């Protein structure tokens, strides 16, 4: 235990010492993160390359191990090769991040670089060979599948920590909680190698966080976020090897809960929006919280709490069975979805609305679409104005419209318009008809809005359907609906593709019949 404590102190003290030295070095040589671009939230240039201090602190602490001879170091001697592999691959990831910090690298270069390092890590023994699945048990993976899973896991986790590095101290603090989870689990399971590396990583992160928390005087940079993400992913693979329960899946997932959720949401919403998946934006979880007016400090502290909660949940699986694993992961997934809904992502709202439309309201929508089709057919076949307006009323009731106004005219021929009104039954929908300035005017208002000035109110939206035929314009039909009304439970396209043409056809036919039956027309035809 003294060795563990000493390793932590060495790593933390090295980080506390090296970080300000590195900060001054970056300031001297202008290795700064300038506040350029709409994704930046800091207001002044801040030194980057914080990952170098973390890597050096970790390396210094691990280099002490060969100088100590006790039970722990004797246990670790057979694993010396794994430590060297970890440091070599970690150094390569660090250099990739340094290059990105200094010269800039696009997503393709970073993915290719991380992929190449992961392939090397796999070849040297860092691989996922089996997977424990709830209700199924331990499954040995085909080498190709194991390689692909290792590649996706390492590259994905490394980029996940890179993506959440948008607020002072968030990525380093979240990584600190993740490393604490891996440390605790490895100590319980007796995995000395993982415990030692996780311990020194925890110390390095704790020392660095002293300077990285808001207001940050140095940033992780891509060098730090990519290296820390790779280190944690590699440790989770080492810790899950030869595990025979579902904790081999559940603990890493929950240990990296916050970055995994943020990355999954980013990929999902960009896919739904039709945007490039690897195109940066300001809609990560921390950005959404900042948009609510939260300070960087508050955002970091709240998300620390989320990371800690994920870590505590991970602890439930240390001595649990597969059945509990599946249940808890399901509950956590539901809780995450509900929490994301509170952030008001447009994509989440649209997905929820889509599910509601296609599952909860599907039957009602289908029934209303059929009613709309029948109403349009009735309107289309109307031969008199009362039949036409009766059909229009059915559509208005179906759509829960508040008000409607129509104007119809046969080329301003007063006699034809009056005859069309005279041929209709003077009851029902015709009580809303009047002839004004030679045109037929029809207005209707729902009973719930009898005393409301719909036309003078800002509480309603309107749709205007112009009516016309080959012979010219016939008029229009305006529909008004309350903004606060429930969503339309039929396909709104029917109003323009079926309803409007049906009204126009019926009006044209009615005016033709009225024109043929006027006294002047009968006299002209010798009737």
Q: What is the DSSP string of 481-510?
A: EETTSPPPSS-TTHIIIIIHHHHHHHHHHH
Clarify whether residues 328 and 429 are in a common domain: no
**Residue 140 has what pLDDT?**
81
Q: Residue 293 region, left (φ>0) first, then alpha (ψ -120 to 50), else beta?
A: left
**Residue 312 has what pLDDT?**
86
Per residue in 184-239, pLDDT (tens digit) is 888 888 889 999 999 999 999 999 999 999 889 999 999 999 999 999 999 988 87
Clarify whether residues 387 and 310 are in a common domain: no
Rounded CA gap, 143 and 156, in Å? 19
- Which residue range is the domain that position 98 belongs to? 2-30+39-355
Rounded CA gap, 225 and 259, in Å? 11
CA dihedral sign of residues 382, 463, 405, 364? positive
Q: Which of 338, 355, 372 is the last residue of a domain?
A: 355
Clarify whether residues 388 and 311 are in a common domain: no
Clarify whether residues 416 and 275 are in a common domain: no
Clarify whether residues 470 and 339 are in a common domain: no
Whether the pTM exceeds 0.85: the reply is no
**Residue 322 has what pLDDT?**
54
Clarify whether residues 249 and 118 are in a common domain: yes
**Residue 247 has what pLDDT?**
46
Question: Which helix (H) or strand (E) covers residue 294, if one does?
Answer: none
The stretches in the chain having pLDDT less than 70 are: 36-43, 132-137, 240-249, 318-326, 328, 344, 346-348, 351, 353, 355-358, 360, 471, 519-527
Indicate whether 65 belongs to any domain. Answer: yes
Tokens 């194991």 found at: 146
**Residue 292 has what pLDDT?**
86
Indicate whether 320 belongs to any domain. Answer: yes
- Fill in the DSSP letter of residue 218: S
- Fill in the DSSP letter of residue 42: -
**Residue 137 has what pLDDT?**
65
Clarify whether residues 282 and 407 are in a common domain: no
Question: In DSSP terms, which residues pair with 442 in a beta bridge?
Answer: 406, 433
Clarify whether residues 121 and 193 are in a common domain: yes
- Tell me the CA distances in angstroms from 174 to 199, 218, 340, 360, 474, one per residue in order: 15, 17, 18, 38, 67
Clarify whether residues 175 and 271 are in a common domain: yes
Clarify whether residues 275 and 351 are in a common domain: yes
**Residue 314 has what pLDDT?**
82
Q: Is the CB of residue 33 less than 8 Å from the CB of residue 19?
A: no
**Apex 418 CA angle, 414 and 419, nearest 5:** 115
Question: How many structural domains does the chain have?
Answer: 2
Count the helices and strands in the chain (H runs, E runs).
21, 9
Clarify whether residues 422 and 284 are in a common domain: no
Per residue in 355-396, pLDDT (tens digit) is 666 676 778 888 888 999 999 999 999 999 999 999 999 999
**Residue 242 has what pLDDT?**
47
Clarify whether residues 334 and 418 are in a common domain: no
**Residue 37 has what pLDDT?**
59
Which one, of 437, 342, 454, lies nearest residue 402 by Cα? 454
3-state secondary structure of 458: coil
Indicate whether 360 belongs to any domain. Answer: no
- Fill in the DSSP letter of residue 514: H
Question: In DSSP terms, which residues pair with 30 in a beta bridge?
Answer: none
**Residue 382 has what pLDDT?**
92
Asked if the peptide bond before residue 215 counts as cis, ω within 30 degrees of 0, the response is yes
Could you tell me how far CA 451 lies from the centroid of its own chain?
44
């Amino acid at each position: 235990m003294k060795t563990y404590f000493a390793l932590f102190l060495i790593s933390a003290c090295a980080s506390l010492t090296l970080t300000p030295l590195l900060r001054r070095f970056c300031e001297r040589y202008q290795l700064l993160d300038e506040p350029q671009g709409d994704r930046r939230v800091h207001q002044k240039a801040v030194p980057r390359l914080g990952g170098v201090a973390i890597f050096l602190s970790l390396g210094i602490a691990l280099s002490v191990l060969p100088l100590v001879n006790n039970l722990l170091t004797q246990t670790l001697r057979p694993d010396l090769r794994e430590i060297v592999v970890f440091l070599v691959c970690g150094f390569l990831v660090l250099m990739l991040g340094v290059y990105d910090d200094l010269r800039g690298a696009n997503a393709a270069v970073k993915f290719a670089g991380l992929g190449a390092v992961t392939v090397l890590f796999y070849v040297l023994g860092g691989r996922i060979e089996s997977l424990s699945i709830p209700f199924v048990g331990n499954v040995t993976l085909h080498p190709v599948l194991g390689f692909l899973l290792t590649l996706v896991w390492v590259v994905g986790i490394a980029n996940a920590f890179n993506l959440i590095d948008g607020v002072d101290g968030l990525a380093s603090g979240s990584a600190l909680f993740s490393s604490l989870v891996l440390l605790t689990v490895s100590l319980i399971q007796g995995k000395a190698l993982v415990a030692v590396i996780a311990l020194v990583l925890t110390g390095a992160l704790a020392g660095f966080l002293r300077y990285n928390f808001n207001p940050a005087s140095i940033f992780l940079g891509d060098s730090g976020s990519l290296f820390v993400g790779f280190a944690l992913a590699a440790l989770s693979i080492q810790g899950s090897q030869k595990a025979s329960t579902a904790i081999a899946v559940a603990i890493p997932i929950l240990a990296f809960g916050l970055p995994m959720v943020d990355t999954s949401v980013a990929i999902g919403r960009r896919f739904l929006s039709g945007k490039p998946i690897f195109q940066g934006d300001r809609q990560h979880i921390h950005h959404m919280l900042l948009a609510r007016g939260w300070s960087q400090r508050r955002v970091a502290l709240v998300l620390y709490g989320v990371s800690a909660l994920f870590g505590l949940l991970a602890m439930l699986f240390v001595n649990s069975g597969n059945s509990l694993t599946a249940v808890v992961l399901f509950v956590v997934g539901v809780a995450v979805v509900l929490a994301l809904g509170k952030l008001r992502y447009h994509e989440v709202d649209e997905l929820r609305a889509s599910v509601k439309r296609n599952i909860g309201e599907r039957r009602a929508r289908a029934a209303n679409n059929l009613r709309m089709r029948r109403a349009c057919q009735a309107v289309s076949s109307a031969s008199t104005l009362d039949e036409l307006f009766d059909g229009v009323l059915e559509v208005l009731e179906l759509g829960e419209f508040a008000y409607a106004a129509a104007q119809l005219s046969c080329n301003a021929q007063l006699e034809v318009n009056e005859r069309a009104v005279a041929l209709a039954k003077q009851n029902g929908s015709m009580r809303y008809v009047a002839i004004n300035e030679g045109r037929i005017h029809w207005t209707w208002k729902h009973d719930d809005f009898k005393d409301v000035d719909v036309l003078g109110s800002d509480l309603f939206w309107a749709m205007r359907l112009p009516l016309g035929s080959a012979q010219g314009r016939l008029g229009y039909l305006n529909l008004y609906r309350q903004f606060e009304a429930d969503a339309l439970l039929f396909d709104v396209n029917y109003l323009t593709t079926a309803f409007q043409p049906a009204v126009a056809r019926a009006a044209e036919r009615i005016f033709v019949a009225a024109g043929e039956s006027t006294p002047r027309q009968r006299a002209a035809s010798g009737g």
